[in-house]
Amino acid sequence: MSLSLRDALIITVCVVVHLAYRYRNKSKYPLPPGMPKWPIVGNAFQIPASQQHLFFKDLGEQLGSKIFYLKAFSQDMIVINDVKIAQDLLDKRSSLYSSRARTPMLNDLIGINYFFPFMQYGDEWRSHRRIFQQYFSPKNMKKEEERTVDFIRKGLLPNLYETPEKFLEHLLNVVGGLITATTYGVQIHRVNDPLVEYQEHVYGAGEKAATPGQFLVDVIPQLKYVPGWFPGAGFQNVAREIKEMTEEVMDKTYDMTLKGIDDGSTSDCFVSWSLENNSGQANYDSQALRTKQIAAAIYKAGSDTRLASSTTFVMAMLLHPDVQHKAQAELDSVVGHDRLPDFSDRSHLPYINAILKEVLRYNPPLPFGLPHLTSGEDVYDGYYIPKGAMVFANSYAMLQDEETFPNPRSFKPERFMNADGTLRTDILDPESVATFGFGRRICPGAQLALSTLYLMFSSILALYDIMPEQDSAGKPIHVSPEFGGHSIISQPIPFRCKITPRKGKNVEGLLKDYLGHEVI
pLDDT tens-digit readout, 481-512? 999 876 789 999 999 999 999 998 999 999 99
Give the residue numbers of the binding site. 443
Digit-coded pLDDT (tens) for 196-214: 999 988 887 777 777 777 7
Residues 279-295: what's their mean pLDDT? Answer: 89
* pTM for this model (two decimals): 0.91
Residue 112, pLDDT score: 84
Give the residue numbers of the binding site for heme. 443
Q: Helix crossing, 284-319 with 167-184: angle to 10°?
A: 160
* φ/ψ bin of 127: left (φ > 0), alpha (ψ from -120 to 50), beta (otherwise): alpha
Q: Across the chain, what does the average pLDDT equal? A: 91
Residue 10, pLDDT score: 52
Amino acid at position 196, single letter? V
Is CATH 1.10.150.120 the right assignment for the domain spanning 5-510?
no
Which ranges of 320-363 does DSSP label H, i.e. alpha helix? 321-334, 350-362
- Structure confidence at residue 16 as a pLDDT band (50, 70, 90): low
Q: Are 394 and 81 in contact (CB under 8 A)?
A: yes
Nearest in space to 30 (alpha carbons), one of 379, 374, 384, 391: 384
DSSP string, 137-164: SHHHHHHHHHHHHHHIIIIIHHHHHH-G
Digit-coded pLDDT (tens) for 364-418: 999 998 999 999 999 999 999 999 999 999 999 999 999 999 999 999 999 999 9
Query: Residue 90 and residue 442: Cα distance in Å, rounded?
Result: 10
β-pairing, 372-373 with 378-380?
A: unpaired
